Chains A and B, each alone.
Chain A
């Protein structure tokens, strides 16, 4: 092979190159006097801003663009075509659970009575919203096997924050907030950041040879200063902690609690319940497991479910059913940690998550989990001969390879990821978890057909061959995108964070 004259160039089967439109910034397209709005005539007397606002009246609104409606439609449509998306194909970002975002979710969240509901409308006129919240809470409690829940946190990290506050309040009620939170070295970065924000010392614990918790070592570390262990299960390696209950027992014996990061709940839903295996408190990511859209980075929603012992500390307000059968918000919760967000959380995401649960039912959720795990194992089986599998422990919903074999040719995980773009796929998660040097973290989710998986596998295998025979091709990837690799160093060193009008 080394003697081949033409170095190997893979043949993407999923994509064909096509042109996209160029588009400037909206400010650069602007021209004074163009309008995309028309307000109705004012039906009350005009107000004089100088009179009403005095010195607080504004003169100029700055350099907002002035464009017509067609230009705005084209502007954002053109920009949209520069994005990759789940709707275009497999998005195997490990730990992010990029599954299909059902469109009926979007439809029902826009129904007038739901989208236009104001958080302060009287409770008797908000029963619909409250019913949605109550039913979603009941479903999530049953899915997790916990006793109580708050939907208030706006995202996963916000849920972690809330969960750790519950733990702190619980320990405080016992007379001592304790000092430390234990976090495995495989954890997502939000875990230690959260513990620090809540005033705890982070104690990092090393994973064992299987990528899991070293139970014997843990037993040595846990003491009366330990507030909790923050554990992701399945771990970021996609591995189920099969000694999870022992871990819970060790913590509980010393009065410490077990926090579960529910980022990977897509591997468990309908098959096992954290509440049954000893977890005291956990968050869920509705934008992962329960199909609400990622939207280019958010909004998310991070409900926190907990056992009875933590219920008194949940954020205010909580939904309760009155003796009249009506649902109410109860603000009278003296032991509550307080509010973590104004109003009641990202309600629009609750609507979507509930629509997803109703579309699935118990059988659908179980089948979903099974398919997610099946897909990850299928990829593992089909790629384990060409990519190094650092941990041989059985995979659940994601599989983590390393770039060890490719590194011989100077190619790193980030390069393989960029080359994958040329094959029509979004890259997997690069260089995470930190315990695997050069990690390729692949989570296909249940949303991929066998055909799409085979295309992905084919792409990954072709890239592995390119690395052997034509590494430069991979190192310079992507070759097919509007822009090639961007200069991130200059971006950080001399930040340009906004457009500025050209000086006259």
Chain B
């Protein structure tokens, strides 16, 4: 991950900004860190600009402003994966039903 991209993500403004407490990033559970890493990897793997993800994140937050931040993040990643024909909603539903703790 290039430092430039890292800074761009760390310093996202407004409602898309990563949750922090006393300046430190806040994750409420391990999966939130994993989904953060997955999204960054997909953006880089597809050669996209970070803004391609950020715009989806803003839309996802606006669609349900009360849900936790990383749930919107997950929804944004789902929409990105669907738009690029990587994962269909059916694929995702099927796999999610079989995830073991």
| A and B from one complex | no
Which residues of A approach B to under 8 Å, CB–CB? none
Which residues of B approach A to under 8 Å, CB–CB? none
